[in-house]
Amino acid sequence: MSKDEDFPQPPDLDQMPRFAGIATFMRLPLVSDLKKLDIALIGVPCDGGSTNRAGARHGPREIRNMSSLIRRVNPASGIAPFDLCRVGDVGDAPVNPIDIADALARIQAFFEALAAAGVVPLGAGGDHLVTLPILRAIATERPLGLVQFDAHSDTVDSYFGGQRYTHGTPFRRAVEEKLIDPARTVQIGIRGSLFSSDEMAFARQGGMRLISIEEFYELGIDAVIAEARRVVGDGPAYVSFDVDGLDPVYASGTGTPEVGGFSTHEAQRMIRGLRGLDLVGADVVEVAPPFDLGGVTALAAANIMFELLCVLADATARRGAG
Amino acid sequence: MSKDEDFPQPPDLDQMPRFAGIATFMRLPLVSDLKKLDIALIGVPCDGGSTNRAGARHGPREIRNMSSLIRRVNPASGIAPFDLCRVGDVGDAPVNPIDIADALARIQAFFEALAAAGVVPLGAGGDHLVTLPILRAIATERPLGLVQFDAHSDTVDSYFGGQRYTHGTPFRRAVEEKLIDPARTVQIGIRGSLFSSDEMAFARQGGMRLISIEEFYELGIDAVIAEARRVVGDGPAYVSFDVDGLDPVYASGTGTPEVGGFSTHEAQRMIRGLRGLDLVGADVVEVAPPFDLGGVTALAAANIMFELLCVLADATARRGAG
Amino acid sequence: MSKDEDFPQPPDLDQMPRFAGIATFMRLPLVSDLKKLDIALIGVPCDGGSTNRAGARHGPREIRNMSSLIRRVNPASGIAPFDLCRVGDVGDAPVNPIDIADALARIQAFFEALAAAGVVPLGAGGDHLVTLPILRAIATERPLGLVQFDAHSDTVDSYFGGQRYTHGTPFRRAVEEKLIDPARTVQIGIRGSLFSSDEMAFARQGGMRLISIEEFYELGIDAVIAEARRVVGDGPAYVSFDVDGLDPVYASGTGTPEVGGFSTHEAQRMIRGLRGLDLVGADVVEVAPPFDLGGVTALAAANIMFELLCVLADATARRGAG
Amino acid sequence: MSKDEDFPQPPDLDQMPRFAGIATFMRLPLVSDLKKLDIALIGVPCDGGSTNRAGARHGPREIRNMSSLIRRVNPASGIAPFDLCRVGDVGDAPVNPIDIADALARIQAFFEALAAAGVVPLGAGGDHLVTLPILRAIATERPLGLVQFDAHSDTVDSYFGGQRYTHGTPFRRAVEEKLIDPARTVQIGIRGSLFSSDEMAFARQGGMRLISIEEFYELGIDAVIAEARRVVGDGPAYVSFDVDGLDPVYASGTGTPEVGGFSTHEAQRMIRGLRGLDLVGADVVEVAPPFDLGGVTALAAANIMFELLCVLADATARRGAG
Amino acid sequence: MSKDEDFPQPPDLDQMPRFAGIATFMRLPLVSDLKKLDIALIGVPCDGGSTNRAGARHGPREIRNMSSLIRRVNPASGIAPFDLCRVGDVGDAPVNPIDIADALARIQAFFEALAAAGVVPLGAGGDHLVTLPILRAIATERPLGLVQFDAHSDTVDSYFGGQRYTHGTPFRRAVEEKLIDPARTVQIGIRGSLFSSDEMAFARQGGMRLISIEEFYELGIDAVIAEARRVVGDGPAYVSFDVDGLDPVYASGTGTPEVGGFSTHEAQRMIRGLRGLDLVGADVVEVAPPFDLGGVTALAAANIMFELLCVLADATARRGAG
Amino acid sequence: MSKDEDFPQPPDLDQMPRFAGIATFMRLPLVSDLKKLDIALIGVPCDGGSTNRAGARHGPREIRNMSSLIRRVNPASGIAPFDLCRVGDVGDAPVNPIDIADALARIQAFFEALAAAGVVPLGAGGDHLVTLPILRAIATERPLGLVQFDAHSDTVDSYFGGQRYTHGTPFRRAVEEKLIDPARTVQIGIRGSLFSSDEMAFARQGGMRLISIEEFYELGIDAVIAEARRVVGDGPAYVSFDVDGLDPVYASGTGTPEVGGFSTHEAQRMIRGLRGLDLVGADVVEVAPPFDLGGVTALAAANIMFELLCVLADATARRGAG
């Protein structure tokens, strides 16, 4: 079925039903030789930045488990990512559940090795703080554009008397460290009660484009997609999908659920709408399996990951890697 | 309350609250004398065709359990099915969990007895393969029209090195055996990643009308209903409702969930829109209680079954049976 | 953060994360001196009126638990209720799980004490019958207007051979006792199969405005809000939110789920649309935690409660209490 | 397999696997003609006496569901109850979830009809208060002996300011009404913290034999059985099994769990040890499915019910009914 | 009921059933004035030391919730702790979910305030690392004896490249800091596979008495109690109960479950056997509600806490505080 | 830590906590070159033989998941299996969920390849029928002795009108095919109601030694171990562990639970007692995750698998493989 032998594929269904076999991402082979890959799927089992309900450390495993249901071709876009690029599971980044600073360093080093090998990363968290070391590893030349699906802006300055590295702060740090360009950043799905009425000041004043869930429904999906594409523009961009952007009925298994979010169908359509952007990496974060119900959140995350893979593979192939 | 004494009714609420009593479909009496019925509710506890997550064998019991919440009158259409027709629970079709060929034969024989008695069947699966022996029993004169609500077309040729009878193949077999007319078949809600890009070739080339979930949202419900009615036309028709057509938040308890489906409200409206077609049977399949959460899927299935019963009873009464 | 020291506030997040501390409503202090409050949050752990699945007696505790996730400011309306009014948790009304008549008397006495102190009540049930003693305590001068979010009209006359006080009867009793004005009553989200086709006769003939879920989707939210405001008008009004008005995927943890309801996002928008009415009390009822899944229903109820608090605080402050 | 055609049997496994078919007790036929039975299995879905966690109203249905796993012969005693006696499921006693007094009257009337037909009752609750109307129906000639398996003595006088009919009071009422003989009553498994140190005074001073869980382990099972047989003696006796006598790991699905109870294996052995007593009825109570986990409690209750059936059938056959 | 008005008591059951009211420990009043207490019940919602499954931060709330089922008198020992001492809930110690060092400092300060007021602490974790700051606060004069119920010795030196403060290291640190006397330390229930065969070297060579689960069953409970009393002797002692000492069926809701542990009944008996020791504090740790099933682990922990309270109250009263 | 580099080991904990990384059995490497192994851990995701509740097809994955908690050394026996033998995860045997005959052939072929390479198999089912093709692959020279832990004898002749290959028949087939020697077979834990009183005739008359749960408790564990060793004797032997031998509280996640079984602690002791037998293979079967609760059953199975591995590694090393 594959383009050629070097393109990793899931096992043949006639020998191995989807419920069988080791649970890697999308039933792909485990690959340790980075030279054999264009795109790597990576778990980042770190939730040391969680200020609320913990458990995202268990996310990668359950996303892998539910991703067994994923097949090979996207029915809406026709993209067959495993034919466009060499895609494999490279396992989990090393972490440290006791020391968040050390964990960030370990994660960054792992993604730097991927970047050095020219491999495009698609990560599965972990809490949203894991996006920071990923960006540190790949945004080495200039700030990236960012499409962030999320209920929260995650641009708080600090918590708990000065903690600057939590899952509520990554994008403030990323702006400060010039990893992302606020003027090329769009945040979609923002909602949830606020600690104070000026909580979004950094994001808004810094030039980020915030689309609240109210504006999302007012504009409609097509206009939201157009706006996201306008903001991000032609330069290299990253996509970060926090599952709490989804309504809790699609993603109850998360640390900070907020009622009134968008649906998985709407998420699928929005990600498909990013096709053509110069995407250089992506992640899905904040799946907390201990709070999940029957794997519904992990299933959503696995499908989101597949949608992200399709547009990443398309972008990667266009850049000449495929 | 009933038209007359021969029309079976749920027990009087003043004596028996809905949580009490034996769990039959919609709290109706168990009826063994088929001459006393116009429409039979039947469980088909068979999941031998499941290639993925099993457990639909437990579907009928949990659908019965949750169907206790169903009352007597449809609030939207005003149809009171137990007044239009004599409806009862006839128990489960015999099955064989070890040998799928034998199971299909047993199920077919059971539905043939119903057909011989002139009783219209409304089945509760079981996996989607159970629709095949039901069609064999009732489509004896000419191919039927089909309205299929489903995430999957279920027209694969074979699996696992030649297995031709699985829950992914019933409608291919049904076309081959001239049980359904592909030109009078509409499949609504199709989605989910594909094993290969030509997976739908048999369905499309054979003349079936596939409405993907993307087209569903583009057309809107009223247009989808109109299209379904146009395709099926005036001849006798069957309705098969696979609960994986629903979004997983409405139906996580199923073997092959696909994110991004329609809602129960949309399903209710579509089924109500089939009123007036010459419906001769229907089923609800793929409820897998071991994967269900708090009975939510079984509750949805019970309500879908009631909606199907309303339009079946209306059609049956118009044909003069009531 | 607060207006002044007399305005109770949740504990400082820097000392006490949201998962920590005693689970009061919205992490507010327990207050026993009613003079210190403008608005009281009250649990009413009574489900003696339940004719179907029980368990709403456990509602207040789980709503309190999930309400820890609520912060201070409404992102859509900008209302900061704890700055507008003095709001606190006054604990639970006393109940009697064996004798419903005694329970109603105890609940009424508790709310009468609040009313005597001029404190506006926001209750958390309990089954829907608890709204009756609340109305008896506060509708002492003239019948109130009512905005009821619900799948059911709850205007049945009696059950089980003459039981006149159940969760299916409170608004019939409230009309009979002149606690609410049927001409100023709107019920939104009505659906679900009926015991008989004239089940809504009392409500409709008495002048209540019923908006079925079908009409809800036909009109659209803005028109529904406008209609609700038109019906209720300028006089004092009460809001009662039965979580079974929500679709079961948002609120499976309830006694009588009905598929095909509205979403939490739609509920949020509708409640926000009530701003400006002369609201004098509100409740959220029918959360039954033993049937809930991962606290999703309680989370929805806590957010609904916060939305109700915002419009109640706005109304209370406008009346001069803040 | 059966003694003769009049002895109801579960359906033939070769046609109907245990997961299939209507969920009656032990897959037996529903029987409405009491003349055809020696022993009746009855559901009593009433929890109006619950002062703590509710939900036992849902017990009969889930016990029926899990009882499908029960086969025909007791492996330890060799008793084959369906060959000794004519046993059937007679459905549920009528109840009233709003009015406990009316519920007690309805239940009593139902069991009086059974008694009038000479049928021995084996009930499944429902909370423990349902034992009272059963005893009223069958202890018409003289007080019965009682073997009670329970964490609680259930001999409180009243609750909530005078409620005399709750699940904490049935055996005090039964003594007062001379339905049971305290001198022939043994309570096994008593434990759990007390409201006051004289809580057991009525039971002990009235002559009941209480075997606390501490004494249970000190004596050992054989001595406990011997003591129970000594207390009850030769006269007619009733067995009431509250599942909270079991440790919560065997029966978490109950209203008032107490850690540190006996195991299902120990329960099985104790009930088998009652063989030879003149047993005239029995029940299993306090299964609260909304608090159950995967049906474990209902499975335990179904097996307890089968053990009770075996010794009841043995006693009934010896009395000449079989 | 109480000795006098200064002795806090749970609310009167006749007004407030156990499922009602704010969930404090054992339904006791919240007390902020430490002078009014002899024994304080404290939550310590900190799991920053967890190297495995997280979630113990949610422990205090769920233990409080299930502790509502606790009444007033211990049925086995007759101890009525609320009559012996003034006992209240003082809320949670402040924590910091991002920085474990800061969290330890905050917790220590909170317990130092209790110690300064002469209040005996009974804590509810949190992971096992929280015992360390508690010991730092109370073991200021000389090393304490320790009775530790646990599957693990928790005397590892460091993890993850040098982390010295994790839930696997507290008792090594406590020995190093001279907070506990290894010669007066007994660890009961030790089991579970080992990382290396010399993992217990520090504990054994330092003089701790380890009773593996194998030795536990060989000796029998009475001998284990005697041995624990012998080891601890007459000096002041602390009791630390890690719920993973229990078998996972009693405590699946914990971070590092090990099959083959003791039962809650055995735990109750062992704690009762500590009566008479000079106990100066105690805790229950490692309840991780996200992994719990139906609250069974929290219920066990609440009962363990009550048993600990009884022996603590007895010791405190004997020391003259009551 | 390992004997030498060729001995596969779990990843270093300092880099990869146990919750991280791909879920292989015991966190061992995936190995495809059979020459590098002495003992292979294999998943067999086949439940086509299940006549009751399905779902064991999902067993291997969840056992792998929970086996992450396993460390390196057995604390009771001191056996360090990864130092004695080269142990790895070889993935899953190929299966066929639609055709049980084909599935058996595929499984047999996979185990024949292991046998040809001289690798000792330790399998994880799947239902109990999977033991048959394993035995066909390894019992090629002479019948093996068998130690079977199970609630059921699994020696039925046929089901459902002649089905000879189900999870109730493997050991009858194994005797007929001379794969096991009935005189060297011991079945431990037998219990559960029977379809007929002569159900055990084949097993008993054929010379198998059945130890019912009643006899198990009567004899005591040491005598049971001695009896098992006596029966099996010195020849090569296989161990098959059906998790339904455990009490349902330890293993609710199984197809045919029977109350009153042994504990995991008792299972551990029994398996340890098999040390010294000439063990040539083993399996753990009938884990059905859809019916499991919080992974408790899979955790038990993972620990059982580790105990089996320890005695298998000891036997293998003694035979000269290590």
Residue from C15, C19, C46, C293 to probe the interface with E (highest E Cβ count within 10 Å): C19
Q: What is the ipTM of this complex?
A: 0.95
Core vs surface per residue D284-311: b (16+ CB within 10 A) or e:
bbbbbbbbbbbbbbbbbbbbbbbbbbbb
Tell me the one-letter amino acid at B93: A
Q: What pLDDT does residue D5 have? A: 65
Report d(CA B291, CA E232) in Å as an integer.
Answer: 50
| Residue D125 φ/ψ, nearest 5 degrees | -80, -175
pLDDT at D321 over 60: no
**Residue B95 lies in domain:** 35-318
Asked if the structure places residue E215 within a domain, the reply is yes
In a domain, C7, yes or no: no
Percent of chain F with pLDDT over 70: 98
Name the band, by pLDDT with cuts 50, 70 and 90, for residue F320. confident
Dist CA C10 CA C26 (whole Å): 7
- What the block records as the tokens of D218 is 């000190």
Mean pLDDT of chain A: 96
Sequence-distant (6+) residues with CB within 8 A of E195 are F13, F71, F72, F73
CB contact under 8 A, E213 and F249: no
CATH of the domain at E131: 3.40.800.10
Give the per-residue pLDDT at C108: 98
C-alpha to C-alpha distance for E281 and E309, rounded to whole angstroms: 9
Q: What is the spatial distance between Cα A120 and Cα D31, in angstroms, rounded to a whole number?
A: 69
Helix/strand/coil for D165: coil
What mean pLDDT is predicted for residues D130-146?
98
The reply to whether residue B97 touches residue F165, judged by beta carbons under 8 angstroms, is no
CA A213 to chain centre: 19
Q: Which residues of A touch C (CB under 8 A)?
A: 51-53, 159-161, 190-197, 199, 212-214, 217, 247-249, 252-253, 256-257, 259-261, 291-293
Count Cβ atoms below 10 Å from residue A101 Cβ, excluding itself: 11
Confidence of residue C1 (pLDDT cuts 50, 70, 90): very low
Average pLDDT over residues D176-205: 96
User: C4: pLDDT confidence band, cut at 50, 70 and 90?
Assistant: low
Q: What DSSP element (H or E) covers F226?
A: helix F221-232
Cis peptide before E88 (omega within 30 of 0): no
Q: How many other C-beta atoms lie within 10 A of the C-beta of residue E112?
A: 16
Q: What angle do CA F189, F192, F198 make, to 5 degrees?
A: 100
Residue B10 lies in a domain: no
pLDDT at A10 over 70: yes
What is the pLDDT, as a whole number, of residue E322? 41
Q: Which residues of B touch F (CB under 8 A)?
A: 47-55, 57-58, 96-100, 102, 159-161, 163, 165-166, 290-291
For residue E192, the chain F residues in CB contact (below 8 A) are: 71, 75
Do D73 and F249 make contact, defined as CB atoms within 8 angstroms? Answer: no
User: B265: helix, coil or strand?
Assistant: helix
Q: Please give the tally of structural domains in chain B.
A: 1
What is the strand order of the sheet B120-125 is part of? B87-92, B39-44, B120-125, B278-285, B236-242, B144-149, B180-190, B209-212
Per-residue confidence (pLDDT) for residue A4, from 0 to 100: 58
- Please say if the pLDDT value at position A1 is more than 60: no
Q: What are the distances in angstroms from CA D195 to CA B121, D159, D162, E299?
A: 58, 12, 16, 18
Q: Confirm if B21 and B27 have CB atoms less than 8 A apart.
A: yes
pLDDT band per the 50, 70, 90 thresholds, residue D2: very low
Q: What gap in Å lies between CA F175 and CA F154, rounded to an integer?
A: 12
Among B62, B98, B291, pick the best mutation site for testing chain F contact (most F Cβ within 10 A): B98
Each residue's pLDDT tens digit, E36-91? 999 999 999 999 999 999 899 999 999 999 999 999 999 999 999 999 999 999 99
Please determine, for residue B322, whether its predicted confidence score (pLDDT) is greater than 90.
no
**% of residues, chain A, pLDDT over 70:** 98
Give, for C91, the enclosing helix (H) or strand (E). strand C87-92
- Bond prior to A43 in cis (omega within 30° of 0): no
Query: Are B74 and B269 spatial neighbours (Cβ–Cβ below 8 Å)?
Result: no
E83–chain A nearest CA distance, Å: 38
- d(CA F136, CA F143) in angstroms, rounded, equals 10
Q: Which of A12, A15, A246, A296 to mutate to test the interface with B (most CBs of B within 10 A)?
A: A296
Q: E224: which residues sit within 8 A by CB, 6+ positions away?
A: E188, E211, E216, E270
* Euclidean distance between CA atoms A73 and A310, whole angstroms: 9
What is the amino acid identity at position C19? Answer: F
Chain A residues within 8 A of F95 when measuring between CB atoms: 16-17, 20
Residue B30 clears pLDDT 60, i.e. is over it: yes
What counts of helices (H) and strands (E) characterise chain C?
10, 8
Query: Taking residues B181-210, what's their average pLDDT?
Result: 95
Helix (H) or strand (E) holding D317: helix D296-318
Instruction: State whether E259 and F249 contact (CB < 8 Å).
Output: no
Tallying the residues shown for chain A, one arrives at 322
Token duo for residue C49 = 């009126």
D249/E78 Cβ within 8 A: no
Please report the pLDDT score of residue E1 as a whole number.
38
Residue-level pLDDT at B320: 85
For residue A264, being part of any structural domain is answered with yes
Do residues B62 and B70 touch, judged by C-beta distance below 8 A? no
Question: What is the SS3 assignment for F44-70?
Answer: ECCCCCCCCCCCHHHHHHHHHHHHHHC
How far apart (Å, rounded) are the C-alpha atoms in residues C145 and C129?
A: 18
Chain A residues in contact with chain E using a Cβ-Cβ cutoff of 8 Å: 47-51, 53-55, 57-58, 96-100, 102, 159-161, 163, 165-166, 290-291
pLDDT tens for each residue of B119-177: 999 999 999 999 999 999 999 999 999 999 999 999 999 988 789 999 999 999 999 99
The C-alpha atoms of residue D190 and residue C247 are separated, in whole angstroms, by 44
How many helices, marked H, and strands, marked E, lie in chain E? 10, 8
Evaluate if residue C127 carries a pLDDT over 90.
yes
Asked if E90 and E32 touch (Cβ cutoff 8 Å), the reply is yes
Asked if C286 contacts C51 with a C-beta cutoff of 8 angstroms, the reply is no
Decide if C247 contacts A247 (C-beta within 8 A).
Answer: no
D271 domain-assigned: yes
Neighbours of C5 (CB within 10 A): 7
CA distance D285 to B225: 50
CA-to-CA dists, residue B296 to B66, C286, D314, E208, F58, angstroms = 9, 17, 43, 53, 22
CA angle D42–D43–D45, rounded 5-degree value? 155
Q: What is the pLDDT of residue F4?
A: 58
User: What residue has token string 């894991």?
Assistant: A130
Closest CA to F183 of F134, F235, F122: F235
CA–CA separation, C251 and D281 (whole Å): 42
Task: Tell me, yes or no, whether B102 lies in a domain.
Answer: yes
Chain C: residue whose CA lies nearest to A196: C73
In the structure encoding, which two tokens stand for residue A91, read together?
Answer: 């396992």
* CA nearest neighbour of B246 among B146, B135, B152: B152
Express each pLDDT in E187-214 by its tens digit. 999 999 999 988 899 999 999 999 999 9
Residue D256's contacts (CB-CB under 8 Å, 6 or more residues apart) are D52, D53, D151, D152, D192, D244, D286, E69
Please, are residues D47 and D54 in contact by the beta-carbon 8 Å criterion? Answer: yes
**Hey, what are B312's tokens?**
């079946």
Q: How many CB atoms lie within 10 A of CB D271?
A: 26
Tokens of C64: 């309190």
Per-residue pLDDT band for D4 (boundaries 50, 70, 90) equals: low
**CA–CA separation, A168 and A166 (whole Å):** 5
- Residue E83 forms part of a structural domain: yes
User: What φ, ψ does residue D10 adopt, rounded to 5°?
Assistant: -65, 155
For tokens 């009682």, the residue is D146
| pLDDT over threshold 70, residue D1 | no
Residue B75's Cβ-side half-sphere holds a number of Cα atoms within 13 Å equal to 24
Residue range D270-278: mean pLDDT, rounded: 98
Cα–Cα distance for residue pair D5/D7, rounded to 1 Å:
5
pLDDT in tens, chain E (322 residues): 345 569 999 998 888 999 999 999 999 999 999 999 999 999 999 999 999 998 999 999 999 999 999 999 999 999 999 999 999 999 999 999 999 999 999 999 999 999 999 999 999 999 999 999 999 999 999 999 999 999 999 999 998 878 999 999 999 999 999 999 999 999 999 999 999 988 899 999 999 999 999 999 999 999 999 999 999 999 999 999 999 999 999 999 999 999 999 999 999 999 999 999 999 999 999 999 999 999 999 999 999 999 999 999 999 999 984 4
Tell me which H or E stretch contains C107: helix C100-116
In this structure, what are the phi and psi dihedrals at residue C73, rounded to the nearest 5 degrees? Answer: -125, 140
Cβ separation E296–D291 shorter than 8 A? no
Mean pLDDT computed over C25-41: 97
Position D118 pLDDT exceeds 90? yes
8 A C-beta contact, residue D276 and residue F236:
no
B236 contacts B145 by C-beta, under 8 angstroms? yes
- For B228-303, strand residue ranges (E) read 236-242, 278-285
Q: Give A180-223 as a DSSP string.
A: EEEEEEEEEEE-S-BSSTTTTHHHHHTT-EEEEHHHHHHH-HHH
Q: What is the rounded average pLDDT for all residues in chain B?
A: 96
Nearest CA in chain E to F26: E193
Domain-located, residue F7: no
